Structure 1
Amino acid sequence: MEGQTFHLSPVKRRQFLKGGLLFAGQFLLDSLDPFKTSASSHSSRVVIVQSDSIRAGGLKIHKQIVREMLETAMQNLFPGSPGKTVWKTLFSPKDVVAVKLNCLAGKGLSPHPELVEAIVAGLKSAGIPERHIILFDRLNEDLKRAGFKINRRPPGVICLGNDSAGYDPELIVYRSIGSLMSRVLTNYATAIINVPVLKDHGIVGFSGGMKNFFGVIHNPNKYHLNVGDPYVPDLSSYPLIKNKLRLIIFDAVNAQYDGGPPYIPRFAWPFNGLIAAADPVAVDYVGWQIIEEKRHEKGLPPLKAVNREPKYIFTAADSRHRLGTANPDQIQIIYKKVS
């Protein structure tokens, strides 16, 4: 199945998992623009790359394998820009790139430093100096528990939590959101790479890319009502986030189908993959379906049956938010294996 591309339709969703992913449906052309969203008739591209060889023992992963996986994901997400030129297409040497991690759950269910190192290498290949790359999350302690070293100033890549960077004192009032935002985004970043993990969430159902931006505001606890709807898409549609977001790369080496957001090993499984997209809605939709399929495999009810269906994903695709597509007929899924 390597190299094939498919529609993900509701009828075919049950064919999603068993070791590797299985996709069925109509073939799509490989030249579609990954930035196309629900505003057009074109598909949004989501690339899933898996490798049975990625694990290096314990919680570590092989650096070379994850680099190959990331390169494969980027080449298939942006097929018009071969090799390392993909990064040069997306980023300018003048950019300051904020890489939003999700380290709440510690080493068991956070972005792997090896993957983040590969992302940094890609940015450097685009001519971006290390001092213009900022790895950040809510707290320094979250980052440290996930295996990252805090570095508040050059030389080297910057890595810090909002408790070090601080929040901009100007209150943002936008749709349902009233928050202070991390100075990483308000004062420094010209571009964002979102690096979430693949997991369920005990309140909002699914914690993916859009939900990860709750970690850039000072009061995310306010916005979990009504399964995060419309708060998640309202925050993601704030221009400072929407207009700077260039890329979403899920670290799906480990995934979790219940009990999230903390890491609970008995609900986790080795997905051994990366999921990449430019459409934040499409990639969240696909990630949600992977979680649903695993829940079904384990005999758990769908999230809707336990009042945790992440309807905010559909809200994000509506005519007001226009963040992407949640229509499975408009999502082009490309599956690749790396040996």
Structure 2
Amino acid sequence: MKSRREFLKGALTGAAILSAKNSLGLSGALDQQAESGKSKVVIAREAALHGPDGKLDEKRVGELLDRAISTYTGRKRPVDAWKHIVLEGGGKDKVIGLKTNGLGGKGISTHAVLVFAIAERLQQAGVKPGNILVWDRSARDLEACGLTINTDPSRVRCFGSDVSGFEDVVENWGSSHARFSRILTRECAMVINLPILKDHSMAGVTFAMKNMYGVVERPQDLHAGGCNPGVADLNAFPVIQRKVKLTIGDAMTSVYEGGPGFRPEHLWQPNALIVGEDRVAIDQIAWGILEKKRAAVGLKTFDAVGRPPRYIATAADAAHALGVNDPQRIKLIEI
């Protein structure tokens, strides 16, 4: 019988304001009735997530993921939570994409151990290995996460848009023009967003919404104005609203200054996962986490250094209506 580590490695190597049309409805009917109009975000923490050698403990990451998903969905058994996620995403026979972020390189990319844990739980919920597709912009980005490229449909697949290519048609929304990855448009029925929490030299904060820059051919075209309104416009495209349903944000390791690349002198370990459906609310919470850390080490606020993440408020405005950024309208649960 294979060990858990062998199983995981073998598998991978071989929204609007919680509206009916954009939400998976995962956070529980009772919560929504009691907290009408509020977007639920869960932050799950584990102080001992990293071992003495600085490496993540696989068992503890899995346990943290289970706590986060169970708390968010209101389902006691994690497998029941995942079965509900799979069902709401189209069923176990549909392809579920896991969109990582490896742009920052080794040391500040979505952690492979989190990807392994999610892939394992999706299979426990009845999804066939070949219907799980781990993806990013390119092989380089995936390898930076510690992942191995695999196109074998009998196993969990892992490849980038450099394999799939992009749609021929340029789509438009607001000021944005984009050609989308065929992985998003043709392969996946649902995408689970797996960003990593980082400082960004232009946008201030990069997390849930900005991770969508990895689904288009020319993300560089969306960086003007500190990525505002680029981030908001991109996330307003129907294909992203329709398919990118859930965020499981990797805040186990983070960079609070000098990002989005790896900056060991500004690396820290929040040891957390951030879960939610409202991408705007998630980014608002992430902003607060980074500001708190910056203050603790004596750095100025993002506003004071001229790079506040203005795209968050833009994404919440009436034209975009992608979620809520008002803390009074966010139900934050910390466990």
Report Cα offsets for 1:138-190 as digits up to 9, x if no partner: 11012112210000232211111211121111211222221211110111111
- One of 63, 72, 78 as aligned partner of 2:73: 78
Aligned residue for 1:251? 250
Task: Map residues 79-118 of structure 1 onto 2, 5 A cutoff.
Answer: 79-80=74-75, 82-91=77-86, 92-118=91-117
Distance across 1 between alignment mates of 2:109 and 2:174: 30
1:232-270 CA-to-partner distances (Å, cap 9, x unmatched) read 011111111101122101111111111000010111111
Query: 2:66 aligned with 1:67, yes or no?
Result: no
TM-score w.r.t. the length of structure 2 is: 0.86
Q: Take 2:323 and 2:207, find their aligned partners in 1: how far apart are those partners?
A: 14
Match of residue 307 from structure 2: 308
| Matches of 1:238 and 1:310, distance apart in 2 | 20
Partner of 2:225: 226
1:137 paired residue number: 136
The residue type paired with residue 283 of structure 2 is D
How far the C-alpha of 1:83 sits from its partner, in A, is 2.9
SS of structure 1 residue aligned to 2:303:
helix
Checking the alignment, whether the CA contact within 8 Å between 1:31 and 1:80 is kept in structure 2 is no
Per the alignment, residue 19 of structure 1 pairs with none
Contact 1:90 1:246 in 2 (8 A): no
Moved more, 269-278 or 73-82: 73-82
Rounded to whole Å, the distance in 2 between the matches of 1:241 and 1:275 is 20
Name whichever structure is richer in strand by fraction. Answer: 1
Structure 1 segments (4+ residues) deviating >6 Å: none
Shift of 1:57: 4.9
Shift in Å at residue 82 of structure 1? 4.1
1:187 corresponds in structure 2 to 186
Amino acid at match of 2:59: Q
Change (3 A) 1:240 1:323: same
CA contact (8 A) 2:101 2:145 kept: no
Distance across 2 between alignment mates of 1:164 and 1:157: 16
> What does 1:103-182 align with in structure 2 at a 5 Å threshold?
103-182=102-181
Q: Secondary structure at the match of 1:65?
A: helix
Cα distance in 1, alignment partners of residues 30 and 74 from structure 2: 7
Identity %: 36
| Unmatched 5+ stretches in structure 1 | 1-28
CA distance in 2, matches of 1:132, 1:257: 35
Q: How does 1:43-54 map to 2 (within 5 A)?
A: 43-54=38-49
Write the deviation string for residues 54-105 of structure 1: whole angstroms up to 9, x where unpaired.
Answer: 1135453111111111111011111156431111112111221111100112
Larger helix proportion, structure 1 or 2? 2
Contact between 2:173 and 2:236, CA under 8 Å: does it hold in 1? Answer: no
CA RMSD between the two structures: 1.9
* 1:317 counterpart residue number: 316
Partner secondary structure for residue 269 of structure 2: strand
Are positions 1:240 and 2:235 aligned together? no
CA contact (8 A) 1:316 1:322 kept: yes
**1:96–1:189 Cα contact (<8 Å) kept:** yes
Runs of 5+ consecutive residues of structure 2 not aligned to the other structure: 1-27
Q: List aligned pairs for 1:259-338, cutoff 5 A.
A: 259-336=258-335
Structure 2 letter corresponding to 1:159: C
- Distance in 2 between residues matched to 1:161 and 1:93, nearest whole Å: 22
TM-aligned CA distance change 1:42 to 1:289, over 3 Å? same
Contact 2:109 2:144 survives alignment (8 Å): no
Alpha-carbon contact 2:256-2:293 (below 8 Å) kept: yes
Distance 2:315 2:52 in 1: 38
